[in-house]
Structure 1
Amino acid sequence: MTLQLLKSFFVYDELEQSILSDYGDPPLILKHSTIRNFAISPTLSLKLRVFQSPHPKGHKLPSLPLIFLIHGLGGQLNQFQYLIDNFSHFSEVLAIDLPGHGRSEFKSDWRIYEPDHLVKVLETVLLACVPESGREVVLVGHSMGCILASKLANRLGIRCVGLVGICPPGGTPEDKKKVQDLQRILSYTPAVIFNMFRAVDRAGGLYSKSVSRMVSPATASDELRVKQLRWNLQVNTHAWIRTAYSLRTPTRQEWHDLDMPVYMIGAEDDQVTSPANIEVIRSWLGPKSLDIEHTIIHDAGHACIIEKPEVICGLISDFVSKSIDVKLSLGWQLAFLASKMDKWSLKNEDKWRRVQSVSTRLEGTFFRGMKTLRQDDEIHSPARLEEAYPDITDVIDISREAPPYDPTTFQRIRYHKFPTVSKLPPTREEVKAFINLVDNEILAAHKQEDNEKEIVIAVHCHYGFNRTGFFLCCYMIERLGFSIKRALQAFQDARNPGIKHSHFIDELHVRYEL
């Protein structure tokens, strides 16, 4: 045994001290987190860290289900930082650090960490934070959080309208045996000895077994590994042992009894809970989940919620809006709010005027992004566009409404109407039709005329950011061989700040990464 390893049993090394100097709370979690005292039973109260963020436009919308996030063994609510950021745009979000985890209080009583008692803790927090009786809830669990979510869902009954399980354990016999073998070891391992195991396990820092077990070894960045190492270091050994020893996976009947849509997500490189659990659990689910497609994420490990956040957010957003409630869609909510507003009100027109009229040309393409024109506007009229941008040969108008300008007044530019719905990412069929318009109509027409002038196509919706950026990114990815990252960056460089709505970006990752 080396001196350095022996020293690690008692003190943190320089890297570990540096990482632990920052607890790692993102700003949004810091803003909406509190430590509150909850009476779990007449004889037990616990101080728990709770994150609860209100829907920023909730008072203007119909009643919406709450999203309740439940972390896994040794985890904490920080691990949901990307999901929290995503969900907070279209729902009220609730999450907690379980007893002895994160910043929540540790108590030595082993009974506190039994699954049924942890479910009681979750239910107590939910009732205290969301006092409206009957308020609908969508549960999202990661790892052991899937076990607790399934049990809580059955207790909530009709109040729970959907469940998402990310990396669920305990489906296959091999996974169950892994849990049982661990529990046998824990039954005779004192905490001081277990801490020595932990020190050995984290030898190697960012590339230790403790970190590499949680992430995909091929794709995980050092930034991601720092996050994972910080969470590993913050684990309370006593709470971990008690929780792991008491762990009991749901039975086949408990999964079958879930009377709501259930969606499972696994990770291809998961070394903690096998992705094979997904198919087994799926076969046990009740009739409301029979037609729901479950997903295995490639190039991701057990920490897929931070490795592939855009994909995870996109998949869950699709599930909750399509299988649970269409109102849990940022696109639906934006459209609902927009229907009550005048697009050309004084306030909105002022916002429109401040937006860049036409972008620079997207690097490596023949596209420009732009906002819509107005017929009698000295700065933003068709005539002014032709004068200021002599390179533009064609305009594609993707707004649904008739344009606020007369396309027939173009003298040189060719106008193409391609109506799409605002606030929602274009469908796969719309993207296919857009590409067909560009390739088989616009480019083909210029080629047929043997026009030697370089072709430049300007695309616009109202402001020219979200739908416009989405279509252009899809074209760059499908026809020009761009990666998702490069396509998004090319659009942002040309038309800052790029695609604004996160659900458009998430949808790009879902379509082109899976």
Structure 2
Amino acid sequence: MATTITLSLLLGISALYLAKSYLSSTRNLDGDNALPESDHPVLKSHSTTKSYKTMFAEYPQIRTFYHPHSHAEKLQAIADLPLLVFVHGLGGCLPQFAPLVGSLVNIAPCFGIDLPGHGKSKFLPKTPEAYTIAAFCELWKTAVEGICKEYGHKKVLFVGHSMGCSISAILTTESSVPFEVVGFIGICPKATPPSSSESTSAKRFLSLPNPVLDLLRMLDRRGGVKSKSVERMAGKAAGMDLRRLQLAYNKSFKTPVWKRSALGCLPQYDSSDGAVGGLPGKDVWAKIQVPLFLIAGEADTVTKPGEVAKIVSFLKDPERENINGTITSNPLPNAMPIPDDGSMDNTTPQENPPNSKADERQFGALPSTSEISSHNSTVVKTAILPSPAAHALMYDHATYRTVAGLIEDFFVRYVSPQLSLGWQLQQLTTSGKWDVKNLEKWKKILPVSGPIGHPPDTGIFRALKTLREQDEVHTPSLFIKEWGSKFFAVIDISHDSPVYDTASLDRGGIQYHKFPTVSKVPPTVVEVTDFIALVDRLRAEQNSSDPTSTSDSSSTTSSNAAGKTIGVHCHYGYNRTGFFICCYLIERCGYRAQDALEEFARAKPPGIRHDHFIDTLFMRYHVGLKKAPTMSTD
């Protein structure tokens, strides 16, 4: 009896000491233990609490998110857009998809729920059978079926993360689902269930009393934002913002929910060592017959990138060749790796970049991607984001733009061209550019930006809005009078015929070059290459004509000694103009993507306005991201 009391006292004192140490370390590292608000405005304003009843259980309070396409009524007659369904993983929640939703909500209706006990859903019911993989699949099927009936959706495209990939794989291959699955994005997927011995060990560990598991989890979180608990998900190279966010997610996930859900992921093994229930394996993944895109992080230790290779092996058809061969390192011809120091290769013309401040990390390579045709005659695309991308890559500020860009590209290429925001915006443009509304909007825009690029006093570029012959202010004659001494050339990238006399620029000593591109759509790889070549040629010509320049006439690297810049304009001078200029700063001047975006936004506020342009930029030039400009419907 005395021994039992003594042991209890020792355990109690130890627990109090550990709790005090943990809270102290968390406070010291987190800044008074202040945790970030993890929800997102889009989720907040489009979420409700619903009740769902399935054959396994009744879930009385499930957080449910639905965001219709903002132009659903206008697009309904011309487009059949799928419902994007976001399925989170074990211990995850909808806010982890918020960065992706922020981009994808503009191209298709979006839907998701928090599983019971996860995120903002109540931990009800508490029976173990309500937390198995089969029960979760049935809950998801019921929820998706209900939203499809309510809003008339017929097609579904799953976007899963971690355990959510396993749930999505089961629903994608289940013939009884009352909706058509047209695609599947799997982020950090798990290929096979735990083995018999792993399941036995896991079950033994999870059989420990909740207070003991609470204590062990508390020890795992010791160190707060620098704890093993955080680094396991976010990666050792994670920035402070991501660490704080991950700590908030980890602390909000309670032990009883974790225990039931983790047990529900473990299969039962029969006498012949066959897995029953739990996470799916080859028998499910091999049945997928829709376009599949698998994304992983090289530094992910939770679901290692090797899991992607396993899934691909399940789907490979040895009788068939790769669709486009295997693409490694650079998925796009002009997407160049950025060295760790932010500079470019010595063989590439460049200038001294500004001090990088976009993120605490730098990424030295682009995602390694490949595409195959599976034995089911469907495309299987993979992308492995280089280290330090980890399990949190879809909500890591350094990687989520790249992930969004890759997903959007996959949608358009393999699911439907109607999932292109550019295509949709073109269809929605019903009024002329010079009607009263747009003319007034155009007049309010800054005619000529500040200098863009290094050196800062003169720059390489200035962004313009298109000149207009009949305007009282921004007309060629006045432009030449005020700005003629500061411009060497003007590149008109608008698709339409110019609404001003271009010859007047030439007469005023400013070269005019027409470089037509399509509005609302990010410039293609070829267009970017041609634009850069044109600017290189103009700068070389300018340097050779500058009497103060001693550089070789073919050089594109010397500074603008004459103090003149190259003007670039589309209609308003934001999206396409900004995209081309940023590409040049990245490829020729050693800027990182975020630095280039900030440089353009500084000179032409608020910068690039369309999210899909920004996503495409980060997909092509995979580097750190601190923040992104907000989207406009411009």
Whether TM exceeds 0.5 here: the answer is yes
Partners in 2 of 1:42 and 1:2 — Cα distance? 39
Q: Does 1:422 align with 2:519?
A: yes
Q: Answer yes or no: is the 8 Å Cα contact 1:163–1:263 preserved in 2.
A: yes
Instruction: Tell me what 2:460 maps to.
Output: 366
Aligned pair partner of 1:165 in 186, 190, 202: 186
Correspondence list, 1:93-492, <5 A: 93-106=110-123, 107-131=125-149, 135-155=154-174, 156=177, 159-171=180-192, 180=199, 183-218=202-237, 220-247=238-265, 248-285=278-315, 286-287=374-375, 291-298=379-386, 299-307=388-396, 308-338=399-429, 340-364=430-454, 365-389=459-483, 390-410=485-505, 411=507, 412-440=509-537, 442-450=538-546, 452=548, 453-492=562-601
Q: Which structure 1 residue ranges, 5 or more long, are not aligned?
A: none
Q: Secondary structure at the match of 1:296?
A: strand
Partners in 2 of 1:330 and 1:11 — Cα distance? 51
Structure 1 residues 2, 482: closer, same or farther in 2, change over 3 A? farther
Task: Point out the structure with the larger helix share.
Answer: 1
Q: Secondary structure at the match of 2:580?
A: helix
| Higher alpha-carbon deviation: 494-503 or 284-293 | 284-293
Q: Secondary structure at the match of 2:117?
A: coil
Q: Answer yes or no: is the 8 Å Cα contact 2:56–2:130 preserved in 1.
A: no
1:157-186 Cα distance to aligned partner (Å, 9 max, x none): 871100000000134x8x757963663334
Structure 1 residues 185, 42: closer, same or farther in 2, change over 3 A? closer
Partners in 1 of 2:208 and 2:403 — Cα distance? 37
* Equivalent position amino acid for 1:408 in 2: A
> How far did 1:45 drift?
3.9
| Higher alpha-carbon deviation: 4-13 or 430-439 | 4-13
Count how many residue pairs are aligned between Structure 1 and Structure 2. 509
Structure 1 residues 228, 2: closer, same or farther in 2, change over 3 A? farther
Partners in 2 of 1:26 and 1:379 — Cα distance? 42
1:230-252 Cα distance to aligned partner (Å, 9 max, x none): 00001021111111112123221
* Equivalent position amino acid for 2:129 in 1: R
> How far did 1:49 drift?
0.4
* Equivalent position amino acid for 1:317 in 2: E
* Equivalent position amino acid for 1:360 in 2: G
> How far did 1:24 drift?
2.5
Q: Answer yes or no: is the 8 Å Cα contact 1:5–1:200 preserved in 2.
A: no
Q: Does 1:47 align with 2:64?
A: no
Structure 1 residues 11, 153: closer, same or farther in 2, change over 3 A? farther
> How far did 1:350 drift?
0.9
* Equivalent position amino acid for 1:402 in 2: S
Structure 1 residues 451, 179: closer, same or farther in 2, change over 3 A? farther
Q: Answer yes or no: is the 8 Å Cα contact 1:67–1:138 preserved in 2.
A: yes
| Higher alpha-carbon deviation: 502-511 or 242-251 | 242-251
| Higher alpha-carbon deviation: 1-10 or 236-245 | 1-10
| Higher alpha-carbon deviation: 251-260 or 68-77 | 251-260
Structure 1 residues 42, 180: closer, same or farther in 2, change over 3 A? closer
Partners in 2 of 1:398 and 1:480 — Cα distance? 21
RMSD: 2.4
* Equivalent position amino acid for 1:446 in 2: Q
Partners in 1 of 2:544 and 2:213 — Cα distance? 75
Q: Answer yes or no: is the 8 Å Cα contact 1:263–1:289 preserved in 2.
A: no
Q: Answer yes or no: is the 8 Å Cα contact 1:399–1:422 preserved in 2.
A: yes
Q: Secondary structure at the match of 1:146?
A: helix
| Higher alpha-carbon deviation: 463-472 or 297-306 | 297-306
Partners in 2 of 1:313 and 1:405 — Cα distance? 38
* Equivalent position amino acid for 2:416 in 1: D
Q: Answer yes or no: is the 8 Å Cα contact 1:38–1:124 preserved in 2.
A: yes
Percent identity between matched residues is 37
